[in-house]
């Protein structure tokens, strides 16, 4: 075990102890350390900026409420990943029932960009092209099965190891490999027409 | 799972290669195959570009979020939660005193009400009539609820015939 990892474990243990004592400063430290990661995972699964912000808040509040029950079987990061994945998947199931998942957002961050006054931004053509790329990525991700997308996001965005993904989702290591393989296979099929278009 | 012939496409190996989950020999073999196979080259390029675009996509979303404001919101909510949890636990702790006290007060109220408010002592409500004579007197009462008539007959003692009377 490297010294950096050892330091991280000691640091995590200290942080958890402080959190369990109700230390407000420790809570703030944890929020600051994990906020971008949690938002990114939630966004990778939901593809919705506002919902991902809500999920991020819910995750931290759940941690604050239940830190007393944390036994330390997994690392703090794995525990946070697990809560984030569960919350994000629950969100998607909730909204899938309300057909929001099929709704094409008119939000400027998801669709074509709105006119912005700053002159140092890319040209309108580049911004349109970027927005189209974003839409293609969203479309391709939405076509992946839920579990496959979750594993793909954890692997590609967070660079988690197979073991960490298995811990976060609560599945076997072999299942992680298999689902990741099928996610890439499906993506290749989805991306095939785009690749042919470019040639 | 390695494939001995580098000219044959091996999807599993390609997947592991993309994941960086190959040994040195497999890496060399895969790189040789990719250099020779147009289809695999295109697939690798497409997936690598997708991965990069996905990271850019998420970074774009991250940049649009005001994390400082969000952090403040989370901290405020957590603090409110802590306070309400503290208030609730104090309330729960005080229940062990509140419940017996309430039960005792309730029982006292019940007995008081049923004995003194609901059932007043059965006294006559009013004198309806009275007759007073030299030897005796009669009073006529009526009970309040059952409206029964009571005749109260009193015989006067003759003071003169009882010399021992005081």
Q: What percent of chain A has pLDDT over 70?
A: 76
Looking at per-residue confidence, does B28 or B4 come out higher? B28
Residues B15, A156: C-beta atoms closer than 8 Å: no
Looking at per-residue confidence, does A89 or A111 come out higher? A89
A102 reaches B (C-beta below 8 A):
no
A134 reaches B (C-beta below 8 A):
yes
What pLDDT, on the 0 to 100 scale, is given for residue A98?
A: 55
- Domain residue extents for chain A: 1-94
C-alpha–C-alpha distance, residues B110 and A179, integer Å: 69
What pLDDT, on the 0 to 100 scale, is given for residue B1?
A: 42
Q: What band does A3 get if pLDDT is binned at 50, 70 and 90?
A: low
Dihedral angle computed from the Cα positions of residues A87, A77, A159 and B15, in that order, rounded to the nearest 10 degrees: -70
Q: pLDDT, tens digit, for every residue of B8-53?
A: 888 889 888 988 888 999 999 999 999 999 988 988 888 888 899 8
What pLDDT, on the 0 to 100 scale, is given for residue B112?
A: 83
Long-range contacts of A111-117 (CB under 8 A, 24+ apart): A111/A135
Q: H helices then E strands: how many in chain B?
A: 4, 3
C-alpha–C-alpha distance, residues B71 and B59, integer Å: 18
pLDDT higher than 50, residue A154:
yes
Q: What band does A105 get if pLDDT is binned at 50, 70 and 90?
A: very low
Best CA proximity match to A69, nearest among A106, A33, A20? A20
pLDDT higher than 50, residue B78:
yes
Q: pLDDT, tens digit, for every residue of A163-198?
A: 999 998 999 999 999 999 999 999 888 888 766 666
Q: Which of residues 56-75 of A touch B (CB under 8 A)?
A: 56-57, 60-61, 64-65
Mean pLDDT, range A102-127, rounded to an integer: 54
For residue A40, give the nearest of B46, B62, B79 by CB distance: B62
Q: What band does B88 get if pLDDT is binned at 50, 70 and 90?
A: low
Residues of chain A with C-beta less than 8 angstroms from the C-beta of B51: 156
Q: pLDDT, tens digit, for every residue of A41-71?
A: 999 999 899 999 999 999 999 999 998 888 8
pLDDT higher than 80, residue B92:
no
- Min Cα separation B27/chain A (Å): 18
Q: Which residue shows structure tokens 């690598």?
A: B48
What pLDDT, on the 0 to 100 scale, is given for residue A107?
A: 46
| CA triple A138-B53-A176, angle to 5 deg | 75
Suggest the residue from A136, A156, A192, A193 to mutate for an interface test with chain B (most B CBs closer than 10 A): A156
Q: Are B48 and A5 in contact (CB under 8 A)?
A: no
Q: What band does B159 get if pLDDT is binned at 50, 70 and 90?
A: low
- Min Cα separation B52/chain A (Å): 9
CATH code given to domain A1-94:
1.10.1740.10
Residues A44, B54: C-beta atoms closer than 8 Å: yes
What pLDDT, on the 0 to 100 scale, is given for residue A22?
A: 84
pLDDT higher than 60, residue A109:
no
C-alpha–C-alpha distance, residues A151 and A179, integer Å: 7
Looking at per-residue confidence, does A104 or A172 come out higher? A172
State the burial class of residue A85 (Cβ atoms within 10 Å of its Cβ: 0-12, 13-18, 19+): buried
Q: Which of residues 123-162 of B touch A (CB under 8 A)?
A: none
Phi, psi of B140 (to 5 degrees): -110, 120
Q: What band does B121 get if pLDDT is binned at 50, 70 and 90?
A: low
């Amino acid at each position: 075990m490297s010294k950096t990892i050892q330091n991280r474990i000691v640091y995590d243990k200290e942080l958890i102890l402080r959190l369990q004592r109700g230390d407000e400063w420790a809570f703030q430290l944890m929020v600051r350390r994990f906020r971008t990661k949690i938002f990114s995972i939630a966004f990778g699964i939901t593809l919705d900026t506002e919902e991902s912000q809500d999920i991020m808040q819910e995750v931290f509040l759940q941690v604050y409420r239940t830190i007393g029950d944390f036994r330390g079987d997994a690392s703090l990061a794995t525990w946070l990943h697990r809560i984030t994945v569960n919350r994000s998947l629950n969100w998607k199931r909730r909204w899938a029932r309300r057909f929001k998942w099929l709704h094409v957002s008119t939000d400027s961050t998801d669709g074509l960009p709105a006119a912005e006054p700053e002159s140092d931004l890319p040209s309108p053509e580049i911004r349109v092209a970027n927005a189209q790329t974003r839409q293609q990525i969203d479309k391709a991700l939405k076509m992946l099965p839920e579990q496959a997308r979750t594993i793909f996001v954890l692997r590609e965005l967070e660079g988690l190891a197979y073991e960490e993904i298995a811990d976060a989702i609560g599945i076997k290591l072999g299942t992680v490999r298999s689902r990741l393989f099928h996610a890439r296979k499906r993506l290749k099929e989805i991306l095939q027409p785009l690749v042919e278009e470019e040639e | 799972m390695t494939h001995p012939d580098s000219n044959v496409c091996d999807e599993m190996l390609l997947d592991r290669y993309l994941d960086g989950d190959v040994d040195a020999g497999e890496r060399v073999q895969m790189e040789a195959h990719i250099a020779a196979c147009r289809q695999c080259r295109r697939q690798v390029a497409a997936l690598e570009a997708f991965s990069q675009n996905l990271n850019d996509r998420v970074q774009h979303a991250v940049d649009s979020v005001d994390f400082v404001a969000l952090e403040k919101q989370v901290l405020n909510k957590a603090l409110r939660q802590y306070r309400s949890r503290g208030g609730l636990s104090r309330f729960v702790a005080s229940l062990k005193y509140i419940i017996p006290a309430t039960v005792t007060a309730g029982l006292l109220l019940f007995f008081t009400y049923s004995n003194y408010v609901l059932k007043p002592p059965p006294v006559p409500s009013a004198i309806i009539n009275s007759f007073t004579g030299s030897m005796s007197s009669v009073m006529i009462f009526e009970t309040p609820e059952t409206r029964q008539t009571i005749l109260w007959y009193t015989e006067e003692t003759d003071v003169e015939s009882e010399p021992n009377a005081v």
